[in-house]
């Protein structure tokens, strides 16, 4: 025979159950609150990181800045040498990760980067920076800088980080040249570099610098106007460029009595003016001996 449960028994069980239920509810509420807090924190972190994680080039640079080789089978500490994975290759592979080096990927062989056949029909050594301490390619080897500016991949915007975006490339007139990838712009522009592993460091490196903006529509920045009486390193760049052109017999006959080679002394005198006029006439420019935007552009510097 079944015994009917009394009202008193039910009341006692209910009193015992309620504390357990209340405790369980408190645990559930605390867990939910913690999960909400974690998700909110993650969202805030992602939002703060978003401005720097703009493209695949930046992502590659940030994840490979301390790799000893392109395969990244080992890593080095900050500031350590990377003789087998130097600056130009690092930047070129970063750009390849973004699809800016057609036919190559970030894991293509080093030899493929060293002899890259671009769509314009020219061959470039993307293991070589392409500009050196003079701001000119004295070695005569078309490198990373020439590839970017001659194939419409990038535009020289001068030393103007305010016009740059993460993923743009910096070129430093340091010794045989140096290059890095901008990973942060704005009021505190930073870059990743190879040769000596450096992550998010000031982009200037203490040297004269230009920036090549990758993609987009940005007007190029030409060097300052030069004329008779000008002096300085930019005049050396001009003289080196003219000497190179004349040594290649691009302008074999000079109606302005220019007889190369110019002394690369940074002094814009009558001989340099004559060479400029000869170049301007050959290019169909105004023959005034003044190196302004049109002449600089014809010389390939903007």
Q: Which CATH number do you get for residue 256? A: 1.10.101.10
Write down the pTM of the prediction.
0.58
* 269 and 154 assigned to the same domain: no
pLDDT at position 114, please?
95
* 111 and 206 assigned to the same domain: yes
Q: Report how far residue 276's alpha carbon sits from residue 289's, in angstroms, rounded to the nearest whole number.
A: 5
Total domains in the fold of the chain: 2
Burial class (CB in 10 A: 0-12, 13-18, 19+), 239: buried
* 72 and 209 assigned to the same domain: yes
pLDDT at position 302, please?
65
pLDDT above 60: residue 293: yes
Alpha helices for the chain (secondary structure H): 7-49, 56-64, 87-97, 110-114, 144-150, 233-247, 270-282, 293-298
- Higher-confidence residue: 69 or 216? 69
pLDDT, tens digit (0-9, with 9 covering 90-100), for 177-232: 899 999 999 889 999 999 999 999 998 878 888 999 998 644 556 788 999 999 98
* 151 and 200 assigned to the same domain: yes
17 within domain boundaries = no
* 135 and 165 assigned to the same domain: yes
Lowest mean pLDDT of 46-50, 192-196, 242-246, name the range.
46-50
Report yes or no: 300 and 237 within 8 Å, Cβ to Cβ. no
pLDDT, tens digit (0-9, with 9 covering 90-100), for 124-135: 999 999 988 777
- Higher-confidence residue: 41 or 204? 204
pLDDT at position 108, please?
92
14 within domain boundaries = no
258 within domain boundaries = yes
* 207 and 254 assigned to the same domain: no
Q: What is the mean pLDDT of residues 260-289?
A: 88
pLDDT, tens digit (0-9, with 9 covering 90-100), for 136-188: 777 778 999 999 998 989 999 988 898 999 999 999 988 888 999 999 998 89
Report yes or no: 141 and 109 within 8 Å, Cβ to Cβ. no
Secondary structure (3-state) at 131: coil
Q: Report how far residue 273's alpha carbon sits from residue 289's, in angstroms, rounded to the nearest whole number.
A: 5
pLDDT above 60: residue 239: yes
* 86 and 200 assigned to the same domain: yes
Domain-terminating residue out of 214, 244, 267: 214
Q: What's the domain range around 135?
A: 56-214
CATH code of the domain containing 74: 3.90.1720
* 82 and 174 assigned to the same domain: yes
* 257 and 189 assigned to the same domain: no
pLDDT above 60: residue 94: yes
Report yes or no: 148 and 102 within 8 Å, Cβ to Cβ. no
């Amino acid at each position: 025979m079944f015994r009917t449960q009394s009202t008193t028994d039910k009341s006692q069980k209910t009193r015992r159950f309620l504390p357990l239920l209340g405790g369980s509810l408190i645990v559930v509420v605390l867990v939910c609150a913690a999960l909400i807090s974690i998700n909110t924190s993650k969202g805030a972190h992602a939002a703060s990181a978003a401005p720097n994680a703009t493209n695949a080039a930046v992502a590659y640079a940030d994840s490979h800045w301390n790799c000893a080789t392109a395969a990244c089978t080992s890593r080095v500490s900050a500031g350590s040498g990377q003789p087998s994975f130097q600056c130009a290759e690092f930047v070129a592979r970063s750009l390849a990760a973004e699809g800016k080096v057609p036919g190559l990927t970030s894991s293509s062989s080093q030899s493929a980067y060293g002899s890259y056949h671009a769509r314009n029909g020219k061959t470039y050594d993307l293991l070589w920076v392409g500009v050196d301490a003079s701001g000119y390619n004295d070695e005569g080897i078309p490198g990373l800088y020439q590839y970017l500016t001659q194939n419409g991949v990038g535009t020289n915007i001068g030393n103007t980080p305010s016009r740059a975006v993460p993923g743009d490339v910096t070129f430093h007139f340091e010794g045989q040249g140096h290059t890095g990838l901008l990973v942060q712009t704005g009021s505190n522009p930073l870059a990743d570099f190879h040769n000596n592993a450096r992550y998010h460091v000031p982009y200037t490196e203490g040297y004269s610098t230009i920036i090549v903006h990758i993609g987009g529509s940005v007007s190029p920045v030409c060097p300052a106007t030069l004329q008779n009486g000008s002096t300085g390193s930019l005049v050396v760049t001009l003289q080196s460029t003219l000497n190179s052109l004349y040594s290649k017999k691009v302008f074999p006959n000079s109606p302005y009595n220019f007889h190369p080679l110019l002394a690369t002394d940074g002094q814009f005198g009558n001989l340099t003016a004559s060479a400029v006029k000869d170049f301007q006439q050959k290019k169909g420019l105004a023959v005034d001996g003044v190196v302004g935007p049109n002449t600089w552009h014809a010389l390939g510097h903007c």
